[in-house]
Structure 1
Amino acid sequence: MNEIIANGFGVAAALCSITSFAPQMLKIWRERDASSVSLKTYALTVSCFALWVVYGVMTGAWPVTFANSCALVMSAGVLLMKWRFGREPDA
């Protein structure tokens, strides 16, 4: 496969991964409400990106490391806002 095309897909995938958390972060921040966000899902997502970062470092795959580090920061931001703005369900 042409390296330029492959790199183009890689960049597109990285940008999608990184920016996919922005709408959720903005919504939570504006509304100060994260009750609709799943704590388990974001805890798993953060763990996933952290593992990809470790993999990227261990294998020297710096594009993987960079893209997943950025996505880790974004998903961790959502997780932190879940803890801060999450509302307890009514008893």
Structure 2
Amino acid sequence: MSLTANVIGTGAAICSMVSFGPQLVKIWRERDASSVSLRMYVITVTGFTLWIAYGFLIKSWPVVGSNIVCLIMSGAILTLKWRFSREERR
């Protein structure tokens, strides 16, 4: 694989992993996830799970690693969405 491909892949992985940070911080600080789409995050978590499986199948540890981080972060957002929506119903 070329250096250019590695740099682009690394940049893409970093952007994907970091992209969930601001949303996660906002939800945690405000204790409100009402603006988060439940369906979108269910699909996102499913997608990252499939990317991880794909990474294992092709033995691409960068694909596996970056998608595990993204799965954890998007899963945390999904968990907070569920948690805070349950608290609102009480």
Q: TM-score, normalised by structure 1?
A: 0.91
Structure 2 spans left out of the alignment, 5+ residues: none
Aligned length, in residue pairs? 87
Equivalent in the alignment of 1:72: 71
Percent of residue pairs bearing the same amino acid type: 51
Structure 1 spans left out of the alignment, 5+ residues: none
Equivalent in the alignment of 2:61: 62
Question: Which has more helix, going by share of residues?
Answer: 2
Equivalent in the alignment of 2:13: 14
Equivalent in the alignment of 2:36: 37
Q: Distance in 1 between matches of 2:22 and 2:39?
A: 19
Q: Distance in 2 between matches of 1:8 and 1:64?
A: 14
Q: Distance in 2 between matches of 1:17 and 1:80?
A: 19
Helix, strand or coil at the partner of 2:34: coil
